[in-house]
Amino acid sequence: MRTYRVNILGCRGRGTAAARAYHAHPRTEIVALCDLVEELLNTLGDEVDVSARFTDLDEMIRQTEPDIVAIPTGTEFHYDLCMRVLEHGVNIEVEKPMCVDLIQADAVIARAQEKGVRTAVHHQGRVGASMQAIAGAYKEGKIGELRYIYGSGKGYYGGYGLMNIGTHMINNMLRFGGPPRSVVTQATTDGHPITPDDIVPSPSGMGTIACEHITASLQFDNNVTGTLLQHRFDNMDSSAYAMELYGSEGRLMWRGDQAWWLPQPHFIPDGEHDRWERLESIYPESYQPDSSAAEADYWFVEEYVRALDEGREHECSGLEGRRVLEVLMGVFESAAHGTRVDLPQENREHPLHSWRKEAALKPPSEMPRPYWDWLSTEFERLGR
């Protein structure tokens, strides 16, 4: 059984999580780390016992010849780093969202296909233990024919939540509904429909965003519809981050590390018909609960090993990551113009950039990168 050699490019929070998962898996070996900050490089290197530490990614790849390079960096760096790594003909894993717009995502996928390598986007929730339980119950036909999918965020500012947590939720929805055919959005900022003046840079370097509150309606094949909520809450609420599948014979609910099944299509809170049954999470045989690796990150690695063994795409492939980005851009386009947007789009430009240009406005002013500082600045702009 082949052991896959791994490089980690970036040693901050998400890089540490990725390294722990690859370090824990018996079929992957971290052969090198790369970061520009020596302290971060040494801290993670000591934790996962990797002595090969670099500040130059090209030199790292040339010297260590990896099978996979993980790119758990800020979104604004994804495109450039992906393209540099792909020049070496190496499989990549990139943190979500894949890129800041579709032009970048198209270029990454095209280059990977030219080089004959795989791309994966780190939507670990789609392959985590509780989602495996949901997928198993769905495949068994426990809810009959799928009718409707509901997904919600954690309460971030809508546009930022869409680019951050919404990427995970949309990818989860794609697993069951397939590629959506269109999207219609209702969106407001400060209680009014958005205008070009409401277009702002995202926190955390996730590109350009708008919309404080977003409700998006998705149309899938086979008469399946979906609703995606990304509404700003005064207080963050991780318990609101949930997905529900409505079927002709039952319902399934996913919330982080837990999953439930309701063996009937309609929730009736009468004590007899509201009995949700907890589903048992499904883990890889090699997973050790006492390791430092998060189970969803470990599952992501497990899926990559299986995909490379079998010569197929990762469940969270770059193609799926691009579909997620198509939905994100479609939500913004529909919010801007008040129309249904067919997917995938012919025009691959960022719709908010185009809208602001049409209004003869300059690019928006810079804003703080940390979310809470960013939110304070946005509230000042809104006069709150």
Looking at residue 70, what DSSP letter applies?
E
Range 232-251 burial, b when 16+ CB lie within 10 A, else e: beeeeeeeebbbbbbbeebb
Considering the domain architecture, whether residues 21 and 94 belong to the same structural domain is answered as: yes
Q: What does the pLDDT read at residue 49? A: 97
Q: What does the pLDDT read at residue 278? A: 96
Boundary of a domain, candidates 313, 343, 361:
313
Band of the pLDDT at 269, cuts 50, 70, 90? confident
Range of the domain at 115: 4-124+296-313
pLDDT at 267 over 90: no
Considering the domain architecture, whether residues 101 and 58 belong to the same structural domain is answered as: yes
Q: Residue holding tokens 């930022």?
A: 160
CA distance 358 to 338: 15
* Portion of the chain with pLDDT greater than 90, in percent: 96
pLDDT at 61 over 90: yes
Q: How many structural domains are present in the chain? A: 2
CA distance 303 to 27: 11
Structure tokens at 103: 């032009």
CA distance 73 to 339: 34
pLDDT at 359 over 90: yes
Considering the domain architecture, whether residues 50 and 170 belong to the same structural domain is answered as: no
Considering the domain architecture, whether residues 28 and 82 belong to the same structural domain is answered as: yes
Boundary of a domain, candidates 313, 347, 363:
313
pLDDT at 85 over 80: yes
Band of the pLDDT at 245, cuts 50, 70, 90? very high
pLDDT at 14 over 90: yes
The per-residue pLDDT for range 92-129, each reduced to its tens digit, is: 999 999 999 999 999 999 999 999 999 999 999 999 99
Q: What does the pLDDT read at residue 279? A: 98
* Portion of the chain with pLDDT greater than 70, in percent: 99
The per-residue pLDDT for range 183-208, each reduced to its tens digit, is: 999 999 999 999 999 999 999 999 99
Boundary of a domain, candidates 313, 340, 355:
313
CA distance 205 to 371: 10
Q: Residue holding tokens 């495109």?
A: 79
pLDDT at 273 over 90: no
Q: What does the pLDDT read at residue 268? A: 80
Considering the domain architecture, whether residues 240 and 118 belong to the same structural domain is answered as: no
Band of the pLDDT at 315, cuts 50, 70, 90? very high
Considering the domain architecture, whether residues 228 and 344 belong to the same structural domain is answered as: yes
pLDDT at 271 over 80: no
Considering the domain architecture, whether residues 234 and 174 belong to the same structural domain is answered as: yes
Mean pLDDT on 311-315: 97
pLDDT at 276 over 80: yes
Considering the domain architecture, whether residues 218 and 363 belong to the same structural domain is answered as: yes
Mean pLDDT on 126-140: 98
Considering the domain architecture, whether residues 201 and 217 belong to the same structural domain is answered as: yes
Considering the domain architecture, whether residues 325 and 367 belong to the same structural domain is answered as: yes
Strand 225-231 relative to strand 213-219, pairing: antiparallel
Q: What does the pLDDT read at residue 89? A: 98
Could you tell me which of 116, 83, 75, 115 has the C-alpha nearest to residue 99?
75
Q: Over the chain, what is the mean pLDDT?
A: 97
The per-residue pLDDT for range 225-242, each reduced to its tens digit, is: 999 999 999 999 999 999
Name the H helices within 258-294: none
Could you tell me how far CA 343 lies from the centroid of its own chain? 18
Considering the domain architecture, whether residues 227 and 355 belong to the same structural domain is answered as: yes
Structure tokens at 197: 């003046």
**Close Cβ partners of 93 (under 8 Å, ≥ 6 residues apart):** 18, 68, 69, 70, 71, 72, 119, 120, 121, 122, 300, 304
Q: What does the pLDDT read at residue 365? A: 93
pLDDT at 274 over 90: no
Strand segments (E) across the chain: 4-9, 28-34, 53-54, 68-71, 91-95, 119-122, 146-152, 182-189, 192-193, 200-201, 208-209, 213-219, 225-231, 243-247, 251-255, 258-262, 277-278, 341-342
Structure tokens at 176: 């069951």
Considering the domain architecture, whether residues 288 and 168 belong to the same structural domain is answered as: yes
User: Can you spell out the DSSP letters for 151-167?
Assistant: EE--S--HHHHHHTHHH
Structure tokens at 290: 């006492």
CATH number at residue 372: 3.30.360.10
CATH number at residue 69: 3.40.50.720
pLDDT at 293 over 90: yes
Mean pLDDT on 29-56: 97
How big is the chain, counted in residues?
Answer: 384
Band of the pLDDT at 285, cuts 50, 70, 90? very high
